[in-house]
Homo-oligomer: A and B are copies of this chain.
């Protein structure tokens, strides 16, 4: 079994390295990840400049690593199309520091790395630690290892990935519950902070406070708030099939 690991926090991120260490027990692992943090890059790819790879070795490990000067999507594309000797059996993206929930998954580099796997017909999973403070990835990595064995056994439908958010579980602490969820909906308030530079010119920082506007009990947002593991199947066939017939009724022939 060959597992490709990527992420958006960069190849040196602790969450990636705990995951690599844990998944090495399942089969061969290759890491292809950005050479620096590349959060919130969505499914952006690099077409206007060339990509460079640097081979990396990890302490006490035979796993090969490649640091790439690109986005998470670049990394997975390059791995599958150019670096790996054969298509991987699975892409695992993470473990991200911080949750990836609701509308935010559309911006997430972590989710996009998994989506790039799906676009290349490889079963893919995105994994995030539902905490911004803790660096304790060990329960999350162990759960991921057990989980992807089941995913490989059961299989995933076309254009579908699984987005997993896992709370911090300290050694000795009781295991959380697991819920299969739908995406909630998030908005941000006060997104831009306007400042003046030392020369009096305006610049804007993107930030903002989260508003969870759809966070019903069956959503990923509520599940993570309750300290549970959330698993959301995401489908990237984005045609609005139901709306096609409505638009057909608009009689657009009249405006040609």
Contact = CB atoms under 8 A, between A and B. Distances in A.
Nearest to A203: B50
A47 B39 CA distance: 8
Given A51-B203, A82-B194, A147-B252, 4 more contacts: A39-B48, A183-B237, A236-B238, A238-B238
Contacts of A250: 150, 154
A73 interface: yes
Interface residue SS majority, chain A: mixed
A51 B240 contact: no
B39 A42 contact: no
Interface string A148-167: 00100010110010100000
Nearest to A37: B48
Contacts of A48: 37, 39
Contact of A255 (B43, B78, B150, B160): B150
Interface stretch (A17-25, A87-95, A105-113, A130-138): A105-113
A81 interface: yes
Nearest to A255: B146
Nearest to A36: B48
